[in-house]
Amino acid sequence: MHSLPLPIAAFVAGLLSFLSPCVLPLVPGYVSLISGATVEDLQSSDRRLLRTVMLHSVTFVLGFSVVFIALGAVATTVGQFANEYHTLLTKIAGVIVIIFGLHLTGLLKIKALYADKRLHNVKGSSSVMGSFLVGFAFAFGWTPCIGPILAAILVLAETQDTVLKGILLLAIYSLGLAVPFLLTSLGVDRFLAFYGRFRRHLHTVEVISGVLLIAVGVLIFLNNLKYLSGYLSFLNRFAL
């Protein structure tokens, strides 16, 4: 099953996006925003409140997933239409991913990716649809900050031979971002304890993410992503 490593890479990219400095510290605030409960309330063991929080969290996740999956479908479609320029576009895509990787390591600063566009004026809602719309809106607000990682996954989606595969890749990316978010909704108190210990490592996560992006960018530039699949082939043993 040689296609396994790419989905794993997409899932890990989602996890790294969750751990980014512009997402992780604000997660309790996001949960509070969509549920209408205070962070103090979220630390209680009220089961009725927990059910409400989880319902709103799931719809919030669906909201941002729709945006990312749609981007994946567009990227794959564009890639298919641009087959005659494949070599040139592959080189350009590789360079872009490398630049994003350099940005994350701190070696190259791109001011636009530091923009604060998280839509602070978006208001929560007591309705499930309201939570979905907030998730939809926040996906666009997050994009400048998680853009380097997201861009790399979109480049991989562009290389897929069917739109369905591109959609699947971004769905898995969204899952990687969603799972820790939903776990946080189940236990905000545990998340706050985790964050207190982990926050000193946020820059390290960025640097590691940057190095990985540079490596992927080089492979894309050389049109040698198959090397990545071969290198990660040991993961196939975990496939069902």
Distance CA 53, CA 36 (A): 9
Helices (H), the chain: 5-18, 27-35, 39-42, 47-81, 86-105, 128-158, 163-186, 188-198, 202-221, 225-231
Q: pTM of this prediction?
A: 0.75
Lowest mean pLDDT among 75-79, 111-115, 136-140: 111-115
Identity of the highest mean pLDDT range in 86-95, 149-158, 225-234: 149-158
pLDDT at 53 over 50: yes
Distances (CA, A) of 77 to 14, 94, 96, 159, 226: 22, 18, 19, 10, 21
Q: pLDDT of 3-46, one tens digit each? A: 446 788 899 999 988 988 778 887 888 888 887 777 777 777 67
Domain-wise residue ranges, the chain: 5-238
Q: Which pLDDT value is given to residue 143? A: 67
Give the angle subtended at the CA of 127 by the CAs of 126 and 133, to the nearest 5°. 110
- pLDDT band of 120, cuts 50, 70, 90: very low
Looking up tokens 């576009």 gives 89
Q: pLDDT of 35-45, one tens digit each? A: 777 777 777 76
Long-range contacts of 233-236 (CB under 8 A, 24+ apart): 233/2, 233/5, 235/4, 235/5, 235/8, 236/1, 236/2, 236/4
pLDDT at 185 over 60: yes
pLDDT at 61 over 90: yes
| Nearest Cα residue to 104 out of 177, 24, 197, 20 | 20
Lowest mean pLDDT among 102-111, 137-146, 210-219: 137-146
Average pLDDT, the chain: 78
